[in-house]
Amino acid sequence: MKKALLVIDMQEATVGANHADFFKYDDELLKRVNSVISGTDAAIVVYIRNLMKNSFINKLAPVKVFDGTPQAELAKELLIVSSNIFSKYNGDAFSNSEFRAFLKSNSIDTVELIGVDGGGCVSLTALGACKNGYQVILNTSAIGSMFETQKDKYYKKLKKLGADFI
């Protein structure tokens, strides 16, 4: 087994000191995420950033996370242990072909996911990992969720697909 730890959407806009008011994650989440990163047995750690396309409609959005803006950067308090940083424009990180190629070139067969949100991007990326043939581990101690109903629905689906929850 060769594992990658995927750190999903731990950005200034979502969990940073000046995060958008919309995002309400528990104050200890960042500490738990950093603890998992510092203690990981994964061969590589990968950071995934969620970005918005810079379009007219998105400029009207209450939260703006465009590439090159402070909100799009990884949270300053986040433990960064590698330069493996990929971006995505939708929930599933496996939508990024460079990310998929990176995992393949590093012979990764297992992914452990942490970050935000359990009712969104974390679960959608886990589903993408299942579809792409990876063994999936969701480290629930370091996954923040604002969308509990969605999270429960996704987790049920992931359990059926053989994902592990720790």
Domain total in the chain: 1
- 76 forms beta bridges with none
Would you state the structure tokens that stand for residue 29, as one six-digit string? 């989440």
Region for residue 9 given its phi and psi (left: phi exceeds 0; alpha: psi -120 to 50; beta: otherwise): left
Can you give the pTM of this predicted structure? 0.92
| Domain carrying residue 129 | 3-165
Contact at 8 Å (CB) between 55 and 61? Answer: no
Strand pairing class (44-50; 110-116): unpaired
Whichever domain contains 77, its CATH number is: 3.40.50.850
The per-residue pLDDT string of the chain (166 residues; one tens digit each, 9 = 90 and over) reads: 899 999 999 989 888 887 777 778 888 999 999 999 999 999 999 999 988 777 667 666 656 676 777 788 899 999 999 999 999 999 999 999 999 999 999 999 999 999 999 999 999 999 999 999 999 999 999 999 998 999 999 999 999 999 999 9
Whether cis (ω within 30° of 0) applies to the bond prior to 26 is: no
Encoded amino acid at 73, one letter? E
